[in-house]
């Protein structure tokens, strides 16, 4: 077929195409080329006529193109653009360019003729290469970063959403693989600490309804270890072309170590303030108690001297006895005040070198007295550790500690309950950040816990303050726990209080282990 066989209308259509166009006969010979073939292939249209069309392709591609061309010719099937593997065209100068080819049988102009439209893919190939490079960079960031990247669609299920992507780092944080989160949309929220789930639900709802970014902090459970890790999660809404929020994506970062450091810093600040407060109050109390004790000593001495001048049945003797009893009580009060003093010269019977003490034996010896201190509706339980180390602790002051703690526990259980006294031992290998400056070493632990009314966080934080009491006016001095704290600190130990309203109180003491005998 010659070009003259094509009607002017067909030629006009072929020349108006936006792609290079070739008309090929049954044998693959080019019988027509439009004007756009020259800027694409570098051949003038007239020079292309009579060439084998497969010669415009590199040798490796010629066979497969010939097969496809003959199939389009014989079967009359149309092969549109982008329907196969992209190929390259061989230009007149020997260079190659990526192209896409569509094959369509020509009807009404003869038998076995095919129209081949050739489209330049250089710009598309460049964009695809840039997209692949960007995707490779994104994949590198996602797979190597320590954060967890994720994406969730919520247009179909606003309650749970459909997890579309989770980066591999999720396995390090949660012990679960990305595929598990994709298969089970609610798995992530199942790993969130129950107390933190309301925060996650609330922020997710705000993101979906208001379309705003949000940050949230929560704890996430590791499926293997059961440990909870603190997570900082920055969430951004995903919108469709119409601006409607259809999901959210985010970056979750493990901040557990940072959180521990912050809590430790807060604890250290609290302990510093407590130490400064105790030192200031202790100096004042020690000075006042020392002077007050001298006056009481004089009062008691004068009272004893007056007894010998008063008969047994005298009303004045009864008054002297009351003065003596009040003086003794005042002496006990000053002794408690002196335990708060940081000055060892003011402390009554200071434990300069306390002897080794068998805590279990001392507790069992005091058991009858402890039992008498408790009402019948309070059960006394013992949990004494076998083979307990001896403590470097003054025996008399240990008794004072125990009786104070038992009295506090008793008063916290007006409706009855259970009081437990337990002992144990612990070795501290490094300087801890959450205790009162304990040095590494071995410590004996004494724990007194009750099932009483408990304390809220604010009350528990002040429990060791001198003169602070929760008892009704006139029923307490506020020196019980304060004196316990003073004694324990004098022995280079520490005290920890755990309490909650309705859940009782647990007071744990740590005192140094007595040094073993050396030959």
Nearest to 149 by CA among 161, 135, 138: 138
pLDDT at 347 over 50: no
pLDDT at 319 over 90: no
pLDDT at 84 over 80: no
| 8 Å CB contact between 187 and 204 | no
d(CA 422, CA 91): 92
pLDDT at 374 over 80: yes
d(CA 3, CA 279): 110
Across residues 455-470, what is the average pLDDT? 71
| 8 Å CB contact between 438 and 428 | yes
Token look-up 């303050």 returns: 465
Query: Out of 131-145, 286-300, 437-451, 487-501, which region has the weakest mean confidence (pLDDT)?
Result: 131-145
| 8 Å CB contact between 167 and 143 | yes
Residues contacting 271, CB < 8 A, separation 6+: 436, 437
Position with higher pLDDT, 157 vs 161: 161
pLDDT-derived band at 257 (thresholds 50, 70, 90) equals: confident
Nearest to 161 by CA among 39, 38, 250: 250
Across residues 31-54, what is the average pLDDT? 90
What's the pLDDT score for residue 389?
A: 92
Residues contacting 437, CB < 8 A, separation 6+: 271, 431, 494
Q: Return the structure tokens found at 185.
A: 């949309």
When the pLDDT of each residue in the chain is averaged and rounded to a whole number, the result is 79
Residues contacting 213, CB < 8 A, separation 6+: 207, 234, 235, 236, 237
d(CA 37, CA 41): 6
| 8 Å CB contact between 280 and 461 | no
What's the pLDDT score for residue 301?
A: 77
pLDDT at 29 over 60: yes
Token look-up 């200071």 returns: 350
| 8 Å CB contact between 94 and 135 | no
The residue length of the chain stands at 519
What's the pLDDT score for residue 348?
A: 44
All domains of the chain in start order, with CATH: 3-121 (3.30.450.20), 145-254 (3.30.450.20), 262-338 (1.10.287), 356-512 (3.30.565.10)
In 3-state terms, what secondary structure has residue 159?
coil
Q: What is the dihedral of CA 293, 295, 298, 304, to 10 degrees?
A: -70
d(CA 205, CA 203): 5
The DSSP output letter for 434 is S
Query: Out of 93-97, 138-142, 254-258, 415-419, which region has the weakest mean confidence (pLDDT)?
Result: 138-142
Across residues 335-357, what is the average pLDDT? 58
Position with higher pLDDT, 219 vs 483: 219
Instruction: Output the pTM of the full model.
Output: 0.41
pLDDT at 265 over 80: no
What's the pLDDT score for residue 168?
A: 83
In 3-state terms, what secondary structure has residue 150?
strand
| 8 Å CB contact between 389 and 514 | yes
Across residues 124-140, what is the average pLDDT? 72
Judge residue 513's burial from the number of C-beta atoms within 10 Å of its C-beta, 0-12 exposed, 13-18 middle, 19 or more buried: buried
């Amino acid at each position: 077929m010659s070009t003259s066989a094509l009607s002017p209308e067909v030629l006009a259509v072929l020349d108006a195409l936006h792609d290079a166009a070739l008309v090929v006969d049954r044998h693959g010979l080019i019988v027509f080329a439009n004007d756009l073939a020259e800027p694409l292939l570098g051949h003038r249209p007239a020079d292309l006529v009579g060439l084998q069309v497969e010669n415009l392709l590199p040798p490796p591609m010629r066979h497969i193109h010939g097969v496809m061309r003959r199939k389009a010719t014989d079967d009359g099937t149309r092969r549109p653009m982008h329907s196969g593997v992209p190929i390259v065209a061989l230009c007149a100068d020997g260079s190659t360019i990526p192209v896409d080819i569509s094959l369509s049988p020509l009807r009404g102009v003869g038998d076995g003729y095919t129209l081949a439209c050739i489209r330049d893919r250089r710009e598309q190939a460049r964009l695809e290469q840039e997209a692949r490079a960007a995707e490779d960079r994104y994949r590198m960031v996602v797979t190597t970063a320590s954060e967890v990247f994720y994406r969730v669609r919520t247009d179909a299920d606003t309650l749970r959403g459909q997890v579309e992507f989770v980066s591999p780092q999720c396995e390090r944080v949660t012990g679960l693989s990305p595929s598990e989160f994709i298969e089970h949309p609610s798995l992530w929220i199942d790993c969130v600490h129950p107390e933190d789930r309301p925060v996650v639900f609330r922020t997710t709802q705000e993101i979906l309804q208001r379309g705003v970014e949000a940050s949230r902090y929560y704890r996430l459970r590791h499926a293997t270890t059961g440990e909870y890790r603190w997570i900082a999660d920055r969430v951004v809404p995903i919108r469709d072309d119409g601006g409607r929020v259809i999901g959210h994506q985010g970056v979750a970062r493990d901040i557990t170590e940072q959180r521990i450091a912050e809590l430790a810093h807060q604890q250290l600040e609290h302990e510093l303030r407590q130490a400064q407060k105790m030192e200031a109050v202790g100096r004042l109390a020690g000075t006042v108690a020392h002077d007050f004790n001298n006056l009481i000593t004089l009062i008691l001495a004068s009272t004893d001297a007056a007894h010998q001048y008063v008969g047994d049945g005298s009303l004045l003797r009864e008054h002297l006895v009351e003065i003596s009893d009040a003086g003794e009580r005042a002496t006990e009060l000053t002794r408690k005040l002196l335990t708060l003093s940081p000055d060892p010269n003011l402390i009554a019977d200071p434990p300069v070198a306390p002897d080794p003490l068998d805590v279990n034996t001392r507790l069992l010896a005091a058991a009858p007295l402890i039992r008498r201190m408790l009402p019948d509706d309070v059960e006394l339980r013992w949990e004494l550790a076998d083979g307990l180390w001896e403590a470097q602790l003054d025996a008399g002051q240990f008794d004072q500690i125990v009786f104070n703690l038992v009295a506090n526990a008793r008063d916290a259980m007006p409706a009855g309950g259970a009081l437990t006294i337990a002992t144990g031992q612990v070795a501290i290998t490094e300087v801890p950040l959450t205790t009162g400056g304990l040095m590494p070493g071995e410590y004996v632990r004494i724990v007194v816990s009750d099932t009483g009314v408990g304390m809220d966080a604010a009350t528990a934080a002040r429990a060791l303050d001198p003169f602070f009491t929760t008892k009704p006016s006139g029923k307490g001095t506020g020196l019980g726990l304060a004196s316990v704290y003073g004694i324990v600190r004098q022995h280079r130990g520490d005290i920890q209080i755990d309490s909650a309203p309705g859940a009782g109180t647990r007071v744990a003491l740590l005192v140094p282990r007595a040094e073993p005998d050396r030959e």
